[in-house]
Every structure is written in C-alpha cells, then in structure tokens.
Amino acid sequence: MDFDLPPEHASFRDAVRELAQAVALPVAAEVDRDHRFPEEAVSAAAEAGLMGVLIPREYGGAGLDALAFTLCIDELAQACASTSVIIDVHTSVGSEPILLFGTDEQKRQWLPRLASGELLGAFALTEPAAGSDAASLKMTARRHRDDYVLNGTKVFITNIGRAGLYVVFARTGPEERAAGVSAFLVPAETPGVRVGQMFKKMGLNGSPTGELVLEDVVVPVANRLAAEGQGFTVAMRALDSGRIGISGQALGIGQAAVDESTALLRGRTREQGDDFTLADMATRLESARLLAYNAAWLCTAGRPFTREASVSKLHCTDTTMQLALDALQLAGEEGAVSGSPFERHVRDAKALQIYEGSNQVQRIVIAREVIQ
C-alpha cells in the first residue's frame, strides 16, 4: 500500500501547474466574464502536448495514464475551470473512444490530429428527451450503401462550434433502447452539420455549450466506431473514464477554494468558526482526492473501475460544491461580487454535479453494484 504519486507523475503535475498558473489563471476571470473561449490557454496546452495525454506516442500523444490525466485536469481546473472542461472533454469522451474502440485505420486517421490539438474533440450523446436516460436517444443513422445518413439534434454539447470532430451516438436499427445505438465519428465540416442554439450558462462560461444539429449528414461506414449496436457500450465505457476527468476538475476547483480560503484566513483575525470550516473543507477534499486517484489507478491497472469512478465522481463533485459554498461564506460579501473567484467557483462547481451522469445517476450506478 502506497499512496504517494510516482515521481514521474509528480513532475508531470508540476509542469502542468506551471503552465496553468502562467497561462490559464490570468485569463480565468475575464473568460468567465466575457463568456469567451480561452484561446491562449488551450493553445498553450496544445503546444505543451496536453491535448494528447492519453493518446499513445505512436499516434503523437504523450502516452500517459489515467492518473496523469486526472492530475492534468486538476491543475488546469485550479487555474481556470472552463479551460479544464474543454481539455477534459476533448481528451476523455472526445478522443478516448477512438483509442479504445477504433480500428487501426481510424486511430491513424484521427488520433494524431486530436493529440496535437489540430482537432478539438467533442462527445454528442445527450438529446432534448434523452439525458440521464441516454438509451432513449432518437437521432437516426440510416445505412445507405457505404454511408450512413444522420439526422437529429443533440444538446448540451461541450466544445460545440470549436470541435473538429464529434463522437456522435445514433440509432441504426429497430432494436429498442441501447441495443439499437451505434457510434460515429462526424467531422465538423461535413455538410449538414451545424451549431444550433448556444446555451448561456451560470458557470463554465468560457466553455461553449450548445446544440448540435445534424441534417442529412452523410458519413462513410469507415467512420462508424465499433460494430453496429455497440454504441451504447462505447458511450458507457467513455463515461467511466470521463468520470475520472470530472473528478479531476472537481479536485481542481476544490483545491482553489481551499487555497483561496487559506490565504483569506491568514490575512485576517483568526476565528475558530472559520478555522473549523477550513478544517472540514480540507478534510473532505483530501478524501475526494484519494477516491479519484484510486479510480484512476484501477483504470490504469486494467481492473474494473465503474463503481469506483462513480463513487469518485459523486464524492468529488458533491464535496467541491460544498467547498465552493463554504469558501464563499468565509469570504462574505467581497466573495459574492462578480469577478471574485469565490463566486465563480460556486457557479462552475454546480455543473459538475450534473454533467457526465448527474449525481443521481451515479447513485443509481453505485447502488446497482452494491445491492446486487
């Protein structure tokens, strides 16, 4: 039993920290205020090789593991939550499905461009009537000789409009629910692909979220990921890893809240009530960190980690929501003023309890594993 980070992971984390603090942190408030894409932070991350953390070296990536990925997202989120979610979605659900389920040809075709950051990845599963109940999705993909023709609308798509490649889930057969779902790689420039409504959110304002509308979009069979009917399996496996990434985001926002609270309390008269709040915050964050590392470690070791990823996502994000609120409470009025990191963390943290499987869905997953 050894809870220490391996030295190479620790130095990787330090390198990401340096970059995030230098490039992402200075723009975090502005990106939030102006609802603008953190171009400079994402570009810097791409130059540093952070868009291909999980992609093997033979495809131009860094060839690192789930733990390194968690650390990367954690460090980015400490600086700027919007930047972290853009890179998280790109890396996990936006690229990893190709890594896990793609043919050699698909890997060669797409992974180098994703790893370099030339293409930004995105994941299109959710629909207006299919959120937590993803298996009820309605988007269709009709086979037509060597092509599929996709029609339908996806919502709440992170990296919308910025992504060069969407992993899209659509119905290929008459089979009910999950059995009829297949996965496709849809390049953004394909005719018929358009951005629908853009959503104005309460947080993560630098990360574009919106509708992806597909109207008679023709993609070759070569762009189908895994066999017909295997799409739901692809989605669920992608989300398992995705939950590790979201845990990393939660750790980052939570750590920022703890660090800022610590600095705040150091600078004013000590009150025991405040001290106790900080002690509880730090304790919960430490427990969350261990759960995230545990899930990442299991994933890397090739062991089952579905339950642990859900446990981690649930605990990390619930913890961070509470931490962000506690930190804001410690900061008082000044923390509630627009532009303050304290109020931004509260708005950013809320999304984490909802996306990549709401925390109610996590509880369903955990309960299923525990009770069976």
Partner 1 sequence: MDFDFSEDQVAIRDTIRELVQDRVAPRAAEIDEKAEYPKDIERLFAENGILGIPFPEEYGGISGSSVTICMGIEEIAKACATSSLILAVQALGSYPILVAGSEEQKRRLCPPLASGEKVAAYALSETGSGSDAAAMKTRAKRHGNEYVLNGTKQFITGGSIAGTLVVFAQTDPEANHKGISAFVLEKETSPWQSSKLEHKLGIRGSPTAQLVFEDVKVPAANRLGEEGEGFKLALAVLDRSRPGIGAQALGIAEGAFDYALNYARERKQFDQPISSFQGIQFMFADMATQIEAARHLVYLAATKVDAKAAGLTKTAAMAKLFASDMAMKVTTDCVQILGGYGYISDYPVERMMRDAKITQIYEGTNQIQRVVIARALLK
List interacting residues with partner 1 (CB under 8 A): 1-6, 9, 67, 262, 265-266, 270, 272, 275-276, 278-280, 282-284, 286-288, 290-291, 293-294, 297-298, 308, 311, 314-315, 360, 362-368, 370-371
3-state secondary structure of 166: strand
d(CA 219, CA 262) in angstroms, rounded, equals: 53
Angle at CA of residue 214, ends 208 and 216, nearest 5°: 160
**Identity of the residue, 167 or 311, whose beta carbon is nearer to partner 1 in the bound complex:** 311
Q: Give the shortest CB-176-to-partner 1 separation in angstroms.
A: 23
Closer CB to partner 1, 53 or 288, in the complex? 288
**94 close to 51: Cβ distance less than 8 angstroms:** no
| Smaller CB separation from partner 1, 272 or 338 | 272
CA–CA distance, 318 with 334 (Å, rounded to integer): 24
Q: How is residue 181 written in tokens?
A: 């779902």
Select 140 or 359, whichever has its Cβ closest to partner 1. Answer: 359
Tell me the DSSP string of 31-43.
HHHHT---HHHHH
* Minimum distance, C-beta of residue 266 to partner 1, in the bound complex (Å): 6
Helix (H, G, I), strand (E, B) or coil at 53: coil
Name which of 230 and 362 has its Cβ closer to partner 1. Answer: 362
10 Å Cβ neighbour count for 50? 27
Residue 175 or 286 with smaller CB distance to partner 1: 286
- CB closer to partner 1, 155 vs 278: 278
Catalytic residues: 356
Closest CA to 173 of 103, 122, 227, 124: 227
How far is the C-alpha of 326 from the C-alpha of 330, rounded, in Å?
A: 6
Residue 73: closest CA among 333, 267, 356? 356
Q: How far is the CB of 294 from partner 1 (least distance, A)?
A: 5
Least separation in angstroms between residue 107's CB and partner 1 is 28
The backbone region for 344, taken as left when phi is positive above 0, alpha when psi lies in -120 to 50, beta otherwise, is alpha
Smallest separation, CB 222 to partner 1 (Å): 39
> Least distance in Å: CB of 120 to partner 1?
31
Integer CA distances (angstroms), 192 to 196, 306, 362, in order: 12, 36, 35
Nearest distance, CB of residue 297 and partner 1, angstroms? 6
Instruction: Count the Cβ atoms, other than its own, within 10 Å of residue 66.
Output: 26
Say how far apart CA 233 and CA 213 lie, in whole Å: 23
Nearest to 51 by CA among 164, 192, 144: 164
Nearest-angstrom CA–CA distance, 37 and 31: 7
